[in-house]
Amino acid sequence: MTEQHDHAYHGPAGHSHGGHAHGGHAHGPGHVHAPASFGRAFAIGIGLNVGFVVLEAAYGVLGNSVALLADAGHNLSDVLGLVVAWVATVLAKRSPSARYTYGMKGSSILASLFNAVFLLVAVGAIGWEAIQRFGEPAPVAGKTVMVVAAVGILVNGITAWLFASGAKGDINIRGAFLHMAADAAVSAGVVLAGLVILYTGWTWLDPAVSLGIVAVIVWSTWGLLRDSLAMSLAAVPPGIDPAAVRAHLGSLPGVAAIHDLHIWPMSTTDVALTAHLVVPGGAPGDAFLMRAAQEMHERFGIGHATFQVETSEAACTLAPDHVV
C-alpha cells in the first residue's frame, strides 16, 4: 500500500529564498514497520522468561551455582528489556500531536539504548560475583545445573525464534533477538560446564563459565549500544550512505546544487530527510517533488523526505555545510 502526502508551494519566509517547495513522504511496499506484528511475540517471550527466571534462581540457590544465579539475573534483565521494547513499540504507534509532531516513534530508540546500557551494568555485577567465587570455590550440583540450563536453551531458543523475522529491519527487535539468542548459547555453555563439573569436580569451572557469560553478553550488546547511541544523536542510519544520497539528489533534472542536507532516524524503523535543492530555472512542479520523495524511499529506505527548492544558493544562509 502506498501512502503519499500532498506537496504545497510556499512563499518566502524566515530567510530569503526565491521559491519554496516542500515534498512530503511516501511509504512503498518495501517499507515495513516491524514492531506492528510482534505484540504476541513479546507476550509469549516475557511469560516464558519470567517462569524460567523463577525456576533458575530457585535451583541456583539449591544447587549452589553462581553460574545459574548469574544467568537468572541476566534473564531477569532480559525480561525488563522485553517489557521496555514492547512498551516502545506500542508508543511508536501513537498518533502525532501538537507537542509531539512525530508522535512517539523515537521511544523505540530510547528503548534500545536503555536495554544496551542496562545489560552492560548488569554484567558488571555478574562478573564481580564470579571473580569473588574464584577465591572461595564452593561445591556445585552439576546435574541440577545441567537440567535447568537445558530448559534455558529451549526457552531462550523459542523466544529468539519469535523475533528472528524482525531482527534485520528494526534495531529494537534486533536487541530482543540478540539477547535471547545469546542466552540460548550461554545456557548451552552452562550445560557443558555442569557435565564437566559432574565428572571432574572442578568447581572453578562454574565461575569461569560465569565470566564467559559476561564476555558473550558484552560482545552481543556492544553493537546494539553503538547503533542505538548513534540513533539517539540523530546520526545517519548505518545502512544509508549520505554521499550516495547527495549524489542522487544532485543528479535530478535541473538541480544545480544541494545544501542543508540532513538524514536522521525518527524511530528504529523510520528515516527522515530534509534538503535544500538549488534549481536556477525556477521551482519545479509537484511531479518532480513526488518522484524525488519516492526515489528516496525506493533507493535508500528514507520514507519521510522534505525538499526546499531555491533559485539561488547565495540567497540561503544555510548554504555552507558547516551551518546547522
At 62 the pLDDT is: 80
Question: For residue 15, what are the β-bridge partners?
Answer: 13
In the chain, which residues have pLDDT < 50? 1-36
Q: State how far the Cα of 180 lies from the Cα of 211, in Å rounded to an integer.
A: 18
What per-residue confidence (pLDDT) applies to 323? Answer: 62
Q: So what's the pLDDT on residue 9?
A: 35
Q: pTM of the entire structure?
A: 0.68
Neighbours of 43 (CB within 10 A): 13
Cell 535471547 sits on residue:
180
How far is Cα 1 from Cα 118, in angstroms, rounded to an integer?
38
- Residue matched to cell numbers 565428572: 199
Half-sphere exposure of 201 (CA within 13 A, CB side): 0
3-state SS, residue 39: helix
For the record, the C-alpha cell of 51 comes out as: 517462569
Calculate the alpha carbon distances from 243 to 51, 205, 217, 308 in Å. Answer: 49, 51, 34, 19
Helix (H, G, I), strand (E, B) or coil at 172: helix
The number of residues in the chain equals 324
Please, are residues 19 and 283 in contact by the beta-carbon 8 Å criterion? yes
Q: How far is CA 178 from CA 38, 67, 127, 133, in A?
A: 15, 20, 20, 28
What are the chain's domains?
3-31+237-315 (3.30.70.1350), 34-232 (1.20.1510.10)
